[in-house]
Amino acid sequence: MAAWLLRSWDNGADSQQLEGREAQQLGSLARNRGTERGTGKEAAICSLWRRLLSSVRARYPLKEDLVNSPGKWTTADEGIQYLRELAVLGVIHSDLDDEEVSKDPEDVLCTRATWRKAIQSAPAS
């Protein structure tokens, strides 16, 4: 789920403004029934990114419900990708209604727990 959300971010989901009916038509792209139902709930116009984050959070209300375990990464690029996916998980469970809190995965602080997950999935060498 985090990898799919990250691809959505990278492809401009934050710049796409949609109303509820338009978002409902895109809900099936998630290929997840719970997420699909939540995508078009808000009638107001807001970004596709905001809608995706809200619907995934509604489907997985606890951080522990949405686990991202990529296995071992072997290149720096794979490690960076994994850190970005962990950042998306942080954004999902941030205060989505607070305009002061960035929804940009690139702005998420790397916490000790996040760093530990990244290191534990690193190759031994």
Decide: 55 and 41 in contact? Cβ < 8 Å. Answer: yes
Mind listing the pLDDT tens digit of every residue in the chain (125 residues)?
Answer: 888 889 989 999 898 887 766 666 665 555 555 555 555 556 577 888 888 888 888 888 888 887 766 667 889 899 999 999 999 988 998 888 888 888 899 998 888 988 888 888 888 77
Range 86-121 burial, b when 16+ CB lie within 10 A, else e: bbbbbbbbeeeeeeeeebebeebeeeeebeebbeeb
Decide: 49 and 14 in contact? Cβ < 8 Å. Answer: yes
* Entry pTM: 0.76
- Angle value at C-alpha 83, between 79 and 85, nearest 5 degrees: 115
Decide: 118 and 73 in contact? Cβ < 8 Å. Answer: no
- Beta partners for 47? 17
CA distance 100 to 77: 30
